[in-house]
Structure 1
Amino acid sequence: MSSSSPASPNTIHAPKGLQGHLLIAVPQMLDPRFQKAVILMCQHDDQSAMGFVINQQSEKLNLGSLYETLEIGTPRFCAEQPVFIGGPVDGNRGFVVHSQDHMLPESNPITHEIGLTTSLDILEDISNGTGPSQSIISLGYAGWGGGQLDAEIAANAWLTLPASHELVFECNTDDIWDETYAALGINPAHYTGTAGNA
């Protein structure tokens, strides 16, 4: 995790487009990386879009093992907190999506309830028990070039829903996809649309 990369995730632009929304894979999604994915969109404008898959936990990593990998000691708290696979781009880079009760100077607001931080300092705060009350630690992100995501949405590869604190932080990971469809009033078993390729 660092804040020195020139990549777009460190420069979260003013709210526009789908920032602060959930991007929800349709049942017919063909890309295995995004089947039943729910993505919190953190940036979306004419040049690019990026977000984090919030319902795909790493099978190998938790906060404790991530600390070992980063060689930064042993966390006092939250060692068993899961680490998520945020997407296929830049998989060695870390991000923390979190509640806004603990914002660092370099944190970026995504919605009025949700923030994003790339600094290692927030990991240390979480492991010391002084960080945000709720957080998703993510490796990698999902990214799109200019107009690419808009084209995929137009091709019915994704549904969208405004993000809420409850859906992002309080749903069981295995239930988020179903819960987003329930919030949209759609039964995924009856949803038909063009197959998505992402």
Structure 2
Amino acid sequence: MVASQIHLVRHGEVLNPHDVLYGRIPGYGLSERGRLMAAAAAADLVARERPVSSLYASPLQRAQESAQPISEALGLPIVTEDRIIEPTNWFEGTNMKKALALPKNWWALRNPRVPSWGEPYTQVFERMMTAIQDAWATADSGDVVLVSHQLPIVMVQRGLAGEHLYHDPRKRRCELSSITTLERRGDRFVEVGYATPAQALSAGAKDVGAV
């Protein structure tokens, strides 16, 4: 058996009072608003009235906490999936605005197409697609939910649409707690839906954790 749909859920707002680019640094969990965002994503999935057979989440705290209300709402255990984690990043642990003002960091920006400041876009896309393929193929039936991060989800969106993986990070379409839905068509996956169930909570939300 295989899955019917794959739902890529981004985590909610992170508690980040110093605007640090947290990347893979441990200890960055959801803010109170982020928990409400995660609950909104869970409610959206429940409202679809589709059977969901499995739930995966990145090992990072913000993704695990965002998966928790989905787990509770759907009665599913959270399976940790390392391949859908946030990419590595040169600027991890810094305040991005301050870091860009330092000449020592400019070398990291030399090639935005790779990008030179972090894990290659092609590698992010490939590991995400391998995880999606495996989740789809091993599902007993119904849908699968994967709770991940902005850049990995954007790589899937762009790659499946045939767009260049390199892009302007300021123009990504992947809001906090958004849901990107995929289906298998023939021998490939295609995006069939994009929802922002936490949009009403987004005013004033911080979203500066990765590039």
Q: Greater share of strand residues, 1 or 2?
A: 1
- TM-score, normalised by the number of residues in structure 2: 0.24
Q: Greater share of helix residues, 1 or 2?
A: 2
Greater RCO between the two (CA within 8 Å, min separation 6)?
A: 2
